[in-house]
Structures are given as C-alpha cells and as structure tokens.
C-alpha cells in the first residue's frame, strides 16, 4: 500500500467516526485496497471476527472479512469468552473444524486459548497476518473438504475433519488441575473426544499410540497421588537415614546414635570406646530409623496419598491407566475428504456378544449355554487395586485354559462369561463341581466364586438375573 493511500484511508476512517456518511467512503476505500491484492493472485483468507463479525477490526491484506452467510476460512476471537459464541454462530461441525485465532490475550489454559489453534498477544494487523500465514496450509485443507463433512452431525466425522484440517494427532497434555492429570484440549470442542477416538480406532480410521501410563487411586481414579516412604513397622513417614557404625572387634553394627556418647563413640554391645576410623570401626552404609517406633530398615514401604479422596494406598494396591494419542490413518483422511457417512462399529457390549452367540447357535440348530462366573472381592482389598486386578487377570487365564480354545470368553471383571457352544445347560451343571475346583485352585487371594449356567432362552438380561449360587 502506498503512503498516500494509507493516509487517505486513515483520514476517511477518522472522519467516519464522526460522520456516518463518510463510513461508506471508508469501506469502499478499503475495498479498493483489497482488490489489487486479490488480482496479484494471493487468495485472501476469509476471516470472521467474534463477538462482532461486522465490527471494524484490523484485517490484514492477506485476509478479507467473510460475508454474512459465507463459511469463513478462519475465526478471530477478539474478546474474552468469544469462543463461547462459536457454536451459536456456526453449525456444530463448522465450529469444530474451522481454524481459530485467539487474539483475546487471555493466556494459557483459558477457554478461548484451549479452543484456539494460534494465539496472539495483541490483535495488530501484523500479528494477525502472521497467524494467518501459519494457518494457510490448514485453510487449504479446509477448503478441500466437501459440504457433507462441514455440515455433518456425526461427532466421529467432525473429529476426523478437525484433525485432518490441522494435520495433527489427538494428544493428551499434562494438566495439574485435572484429577486425571492430563487433558485432551480437543475435548472442549468435541466433548467425550477420547471415547470418539476409540470408536474411530475400532473402525480403522484412527490408530492408538502409547502416550503414558499413570498410577491412579483405586478408590476414586484420581492420578493426583503424592508418593511417600513409610516405616514398614508402624506406617509412619517419620523416617531418618542415619549412618551405620561397624565395630570390628565384636562385629556389632548399628546406627551411629546408639554409639554416640557426647563427642565419643562407645560400642553398645562390648562397651569399648571406638577411637580410630578404619582401625577400630568403619561406616559401611546407612539405615532408615523410624523416629516414631524405632524400627530399623533399609527398605521402606512406598505408599501414596490421594489428594482427591485422602486415601492412603500401598504401592501394591494402586491402579494404573494407560493413556494414548490417536493418529488419523490414511482411511481416516479419505473418510474426512469424502464426507460419506461412517459405519457403525457394531454392538461390542457384553449383552450384544451373548445375543449374537445365541443367535448363531440357534440358526445352526445347535445347543449352547453360558457359564457365568463372578468373583467377590475380599474385604480390605480395593476393587481397582493392582492386587485384585492381577487376581482377575489370572482368573481369566485359568478360565480360558479350562475350556477348548474355540470357546469365547468375555472378561468384564469381576464377571466372566464362557460362551459354551454345543453344550447344554444340564451337562455343564453336572460338571460344575469340577469346574469350581479347577478355577478356585490357583487363586492367590481367596475370593468367593459364584458360578451359574444359563440356557439360550435365559440369556436375555443374563446380567440382571438374580444368581443361583452353587
Ligand atoms: Zn515406625
Ligand atoms: Zn563392640
Ligand atoms: Zn482417591
């Protein structure tokens, strides 16, 4: 832009503030400025500002204001909480897919910033221009999307398109304010985003990669645990490391404080004074002394305190949770680019699997039955703790080994189902004592084991049925 044009425009804009009729002149001056840029072949990015799309905002030359009813290429947030307007101004899909620039200056962790793809501190034309240049590849991919994708109601397709446009994965970010200690920022745009990504994984449109494994509280699933070393005698955290003194002559060794008599060291066993280091005695290491009960130990119990529910949990009883990042596959890219409706993942629920099994056998005219096993958690063992989880894993393994390899086993701890093809209920019931003996034999904990057998006609609602315990 020439200086003359710039000056003329500034005058017009200044005049427009006092005189509404000059506003039209200012607008047309702006339009004249934009024209040469377009004719230079630089395709302007259509920008919509929020909260006021018609307001006079510093739009750089590489951009133009999107016309009313025109889908923008990017959205500019100008005031705090403007992100809340996104879903009011646009369709659900467009609000999630169109790239967003946060110019509110609100800072890290704010609602606007979590919604934004690019954050700028101040909305100067230069800063906005830089942001647009960063987003240009995303805008290019956005424009390639078909209308079907931009107007879909399917959150799965919305997520695919959102990641496709941004050319990135769905990845967790550490967040101390969350009881899980991580968040997927995309969750503020598409609620329940991780579950949706799981569904897309089942369809082969996304793939999971290991991101982290968290230690979590077995009572409330919080990952906000603090670690502490506790006395293995009394459980107190009041443990102090002290050097061990070793008296050569009588071979006694113990913490230094037992030898200490003022400035001298005296062996508590033989009462001889220890004078010369490495002649009379040495210090072979250190030991933890519990100042609450006096217990000596080189190994302390590692325990956790849950900051959310105040539970003290032993290391053996904590739970764990693996979290993933989700990456769009080639098939996923194609699905976003084509915009055709996605398939259903099928009914993978326990009830669905049992019904499908019963149907298969009735079609073939074969008998079948379902063995239902439930482990009752012993008292004082948290259901979500490591020890109990291992017991369930082990039980599932024994159950598998107890039947032929074709037998479908459903794990829904503490409930386990064996789908027994070609076996009638009465036959299985006759063998229940042997089955019980075999299943119970190897369990480390001694949980109560409930077993029951169902015939196909009893299968609907099998999980809700009061159990006949054998
Ligand atoms: Zn102690
Ligand atoms: Zn001694
Ligand atoms: Zn807890």
Same domain, 107 and 48: yes
What would the pLDDT profile of 196-215 be if each residue is shown by its tens digit?
999 999 888 999 999 999 99
SS3 at position 293: coil
- Separation of 287 CA from ligand 1 center, angstroms? 13
What would the pLDDT profile of 306-364 be if each residue is shown by its tens digit?
999 999 998 888 999 999 999 999 999 999 998 888 877 666 677 778 888 888 888 77
d(C-alpha 19, C-alpha 461), whole Å: 75
Direct distance between the N- and C-terminal alpha carbons of the chain, in angstroms, rounded to an integer: 88
24 inside domain: yes
Q: And the tokens for 199? A: 């569904």
Q: Do residues 59 and 65 lie in contact, with contact meaning Cβ atoms separated by under 8 Å? A: yes
Pick the ligand that lies closest to the CA of residue 250: 2
193 inside domain: no
Pick the ligand that lies closest to the CA of residue 311: 3
Examine the fold and report which residue of 116, 143, 170 is the final residue of a domain before the chain moves on. 143
Question: Quick one: CA dihedral 210, 211, 213, 216, positive or negative?
Answer: negative
User: Nearest-CA neighbor of 114 among 146, 167, 77, 62?
Assistant: 77
What would the pLDDT profile of 25-68 be if each residue is shown by its tens digit?
444 444 444 444 443 445 788 888 888 777 666 777 777 887 77
Measured from the Cβ of residue 115, the count of other Cβ atoms closer than 10 Å reads: 21
**pTM of this structure:** 0.66
Rg (CA), the chain: 34
Name the residue range of residue 363's domain.
350-458
Same domain, 130 and 50: yes
Same domain, 50 and 126: yes
Question: Is the confidence at residue 110, as pLDDT, over 80?
Answer: no
The number of angstroms, rounded, from the C-alpha of 58 to the middle of its chain's C-alpha atoms is: 38
Pick the ligand that lies closest to the CA of residue 293: 1
Pick the ligand that lies closest to the CA of residue 223: 3
Question: Is the confidence at residue 223, as pLDDT, over 60?
Answer: yes
Q: Which residues surround ligand 1, an ion (CB under 5 A)?
A: 231, 233-234, 236, 290, 292-293, 295
- Separation of 173 CA from ligand 3 center, angstroms? 21
Q: Which residues surround ligand 2, an ion (CB under 5 A)?
A: 247, 250, 252, 267, 269-270
Give how many domains the chain has, as a whole number.
4
Please tell me the predicted confidence (pLDDT) of residue 362: 81
Same domain, 435 and 371: yes
Same domain, 19 and 102: no
- Separation of 291 CA from ligand 2 center, angstroms? 24
- Angle between helix axes 155-166 and 330-338 (nearest 10 degrees) is 110
- Separation of 460 CA from ligand 1 center, angstroms? 55
The number of angstroms, rounded, from the C-alpha of 104 to the middle of its chain's C-alpha atoms is: 28
User: Nearest-CA neighbor of 442 among 383, 396, 379?
Assistant: 396
- Separation of 286 CA from ligand 2 center, angstroms? 18
Residues 6+ apart with CB under 8 A from 78: 49, 50, 51, 52, 55, 57, 103, 104, 123
183 inside domain: no
């Amino acid at each position: 832009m020439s200086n003359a044009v710039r000056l003329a425009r500034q005058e017009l804009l200044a005049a427009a503030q006092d005189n509404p009729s000059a506003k039209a002149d200012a607008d047309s001056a702006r339009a004249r400025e934009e024209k040469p840029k377009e004719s230079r072949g630089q395709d302007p990015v259509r920008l919509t500002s929020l909260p006021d799309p018609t307001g006079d905002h510093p739009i750089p030359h590489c951009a133009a204001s999107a016309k009313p009813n025109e889908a923008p290429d990017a959205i500019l947030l100008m005031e705090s909480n403007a992100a809340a307007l996104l879903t009011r101004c646009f369709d659900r899909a467009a609000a999630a897919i169109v790239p967003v620039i946060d110019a509110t200056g609100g800072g890290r962790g704010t609602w606007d910033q979590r919604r934004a793809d690019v954050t700028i501190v101040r909305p100067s034309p230069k800063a906005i221009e830089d942001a647009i240049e960063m987003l240009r590849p995303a805008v290019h991919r956005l424009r390639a999307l078909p209308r079907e994708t931009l107007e879909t109601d399917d959150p799965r397709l919305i997520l695919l398109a959102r990641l496709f446009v941004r050319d990135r994965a769905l990845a967790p970010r550490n967040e101390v304010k969350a009881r899980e200690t991580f968040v997927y920022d995309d969750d503020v745009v598409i609620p329940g985003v991780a579950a949706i990504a799981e569904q897309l994984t089942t369809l082969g449109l996304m793939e999971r990669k290991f991101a982290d494994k968290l230690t979590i509280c077995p009572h409330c699933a919080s990952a906000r645990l603090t670690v502490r070393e506790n006395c293995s005698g009394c459980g107190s955290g009041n443990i102090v490391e002290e050097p061990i003194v070793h008296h050569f002559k009588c071979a006694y060794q113990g913490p230094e404080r037992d030898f200490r008599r003022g400035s001298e060291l005296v062996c508590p066993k033989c009462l001889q004074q220890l004078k010369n280091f490495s002649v009379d005695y040495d210090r072979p290491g250190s030991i933890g002394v519990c100042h609450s009960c006096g217990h000596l130990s080189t190994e302390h119990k590692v325990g956790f305190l849950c900051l959310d529910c105040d539970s003290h949990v032993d290391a053996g009883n904590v739970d764990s949770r693996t979290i993933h990042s989700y990456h769009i596959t080639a098939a996923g890219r194609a699905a976003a680019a084509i915009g055709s409706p996605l398939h259903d993942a099928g009914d993978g629920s326990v009830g669905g699997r049992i019904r499908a099994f019963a149907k298969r056998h009735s079609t073939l005219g074969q008998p079948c039955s379902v063995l239902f096993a439930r482990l009752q958690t012993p008292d004082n063992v948290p259901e979500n703790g490591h020890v109990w989880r291992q017991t369930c894993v082990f039980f599932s393994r024994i159950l598998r080994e107890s039947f032929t390899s074709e037998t479908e086993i459903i794990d829904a701890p503490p409930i386990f189902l064996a789908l027994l093809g070609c076996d009638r209920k009465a036959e299985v019931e006759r063998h229940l004592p042997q089955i019980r003996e075999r299943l119970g034999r190897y369990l480390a904990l001694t949980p109560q084991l409930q077993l029951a057998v169902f015939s196909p006609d009893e299968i609907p609602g099998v999980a809700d049925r009061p159990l006949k315990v054998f």
